[in-house]
Structure 1
Amino acid sequence: MDGHVPEELRKWEELIDCKLKPSLVRATDERNKLFEQQKVVSDLRKNIENLQRNSITNMRTMVNIGSEVYLQAEVSDTRRIFVDIGYGFHVEFTWDEALKYLPSREELLARKIEECTQRIVHIKADIKWIYEVIRQLLNIPEDPYVEERVL
């Protein structure tokens, strides 16, 4: 084997291990967080619709005060709620205002999820391409079974 091949092989492996795989993990984690946010927004919209449909203007609930410690709370007027709009900011909305705002938030999250998904696809394609380069550097024949599965 040529002395140049091991050095080139090491560089390709280093690119995968030190750059692409950590980028893939970060992008996947980011997308998972966005999925969680999307579920929270969807649940909030459904809860507001239920409150509105059932004309519930007061209620008792459990409130997380931190570190999964909960206190029982009485909400005397549910018709005004605070909605997390991102970056730690909360805005007071009526039910109708919140129901007008939430679809735009859901659309934004859906776009961000799609962007993360595309980034993940590109990273995976880059990794696969580099593995093909490595296979060629090492003169390893293509696996005929891999081709059959793709077709």
Structure 2
Amino acid sequence: MYCYLASDMDAVDLKHKVLKYEQFLNETLRGDLSNLNNQREKVFEETADYLHLQTTLEKLKEAGFTDGSKPVKTQVDLGCQFFAQAVISDASMVFVHVGYGFFVEFTVDEALPFIEEKISRLNIKAEKLGKAMAQVRAQIRMVLEGLRELQGL
């Protein structure tokens, strides 16, 4: 049979609380922060893709290739910076990824406003993820401060 004094019980209870807070900090909060950061990075990548598409379509429109009268010669990235020559016979219509694996065929004039709206929505989503990350960082600071107080540092 074990006999603990009140101060021994407090020390054991304190160690248990510290371990629980450290576990919550490392497994939950830091994991949440990492997941939010990964989500935000994906949103930034998607935004960059749409911005690139918008720039390309605007340049095609300025050069007069969007009426379908003349072919467009270009290079396509096949991956790992390996490019192949390509000829687009009719650049008046483009397929744009609208989400969930669906593509919609647009004229260039229809695609540009859609892309602007999509970029706007992605920026809002990135902003919300940034705010959520700030909240998790604040929770991490609070837990660290609580740990310091428990350990008497």
- TM-based fold match above 0.5: yes
Report the TM-score when normalising by structure 2: 0.84
Structure-1-length-normalised TM-score? 0.85
Question: Partner residue of 1:28?
Answer: 37
- Which residue matches 1:46? 55
1:129 offset after TM fit, Å? Answer: 0.3
- 1:86-134, Cα deviation, whole Å (9 max, x unpaired): 1111110001000121111011101110111011101110100000000
Q: Cα–Cα, structure 1 residues 123 and 110, in superposed 2: closer, same or farther, change >3 Å?
A: same
Q: CA deviation at 1:61?
A: 2.3
Q: How many residues align?
A: 140
How far 1:50 sits from its partner (Å)? 0.9
Unaligned runs of 5+ in 1: 141-151
Runs of 4+ in 1 over 6 A off after TM superposition: none
Residue 148 (structure 1) aligns with:
none
Which has the greater radius of gyration? 2
Q: Distance in 2 between matches of 1:12 and 1:68?
A: 47
Mapped partners of 1:59, 1:86: distance in 2: 27
For 2:62 and 2:76, the matched residues in 1 are separated by 23
Alignment of 1:2-151 (within 5 A): 2-57=11-66, 58-64=71-77, 70-140=83-153
The alignment's C-alpha RMSD in Å is 1.6
Over the matched positions of the two proteins, sequence identity in percent amounts to 29
Deviation at residue 70 of structure 1 after TM alignment: 4.6
**Structure 2: gaps of 5 or more residues:** 1-9
